[in-house]
Amino acid sequence: MPDLFSASPALLPFIIFGLRVLDMSLDTMRVLFVIRGRRPLAWIFGFFQSLIWVVAITTVLSNMTNPWNLVAYATGFATGNVVGMWIEERLAIGHGHMRIMSTGRGSMIAESIRNAGYAATELSGRGRDGTVAVINCSVRRRDIERVRRQVNSIDPDAFITVQEIRPLNRGFWRA
């Protein structure tokens, strides 16, 4: 760590900002992994996050006279949080359960989902204006957008909801 403490004072805010962005991105991803029950990933991210945080905080605390260090610390914290969210969305680890409700075009939607290689379970329900199809479809999180576009192209009025799930047993998952 001596490099950091003896770095030129003009550079210090940038170093602090960079460290904070890095450690908060890791921390945000860690929290999101914890929510999804990914233990090994949560451990690894937690380790590196706290390692970097200790370096950043001690650098700031021993250089409290330069207000830019504090500004860099706080904006780095806020920015790192958002960067972590962005990365996690791109990684899109995990699974989502899509529920599609459609009036009239249910079987067409289910057929097209199956043709694309995903699994769909059709149920029939009754809405205010008559029979509707309820289609259940579990896909990997990164496939949600693709399925959504496909459903929309067949029935622009379909009601689509997504929730996060953890698969317990079996099912048909596209490899």
Partner 1 sequence: MESLIRVLVDWIGSIGRSNALLWANWTAGTLPLAIFLLRATDQTISTVRMFVTSQGRRGAAWLLGLLQALLFIGAISGILGQLTNPWNLVAYAAGYGAGSVLGITIDNFLAPGHAFLRVVSQGQGPLLVSALRDAGRGVTEMPGKGLEGTVSVLLCAIPRREVVPTRTTLLAIDPNAFVTVEQIRVLDGGWVL
Q: Kindly tell me which of 85 and 175 has the beta carbon lying closer to partner 1.
A: 85
Member of 9, 117, 127, 167 binding partner 1 (CB under 8 A): 127
Stretch that binds partner 1, among 43-51, 56-64, 105-113, 167-175 (CB under 8 A): 56-64
Q: Residue 74 interacts with partner 1 (CB under 8 A)?
A: yes
Shortest Å distance, C-beta 158 to partner 1: 6
Q: Residue 108 interacts with partner 1 (CB under 8 A)?
A: no
Q: Which two tokens stand for residue 12?
A: 């210090």
Instruction: Indicate the burial class of 23 (C-beta count within 10 angstroms; 0-12, 13-18, 19 or more).
Output: buried
Q: Residue 115 interacts with partner 1 (CB under 8 A)?
A: no
Q: Kindly tell me which of 11 and 123 has the beta carbon lying closer to partner 1.
A: 123
Total residues contacting partner 1 by CB under 8 A comes to 53
Q: Residue 54 interacts with partner 1 (CB under 8 A)?
A: no
Q: Kindly tell me which of 7 and 136 has the beta carbon lying closer to partner 1.
A: 136
Member of 7, 41, 46, 75 binding partner 1 (CB under 8 A): 75
Residue at 148: amino acid letter: R
Q: Residue 52 interacts with partner 1 (CB under 8 A)?
A: no
Does residue 159 contact residue 100 with C-beta atoms inside 8 Å?
A: yes
Shortest Å distance, C-beta 98 to partner 1: 8
Q: Residue 65 interacts with partner 1 (CB under 8 A)?
A: yes
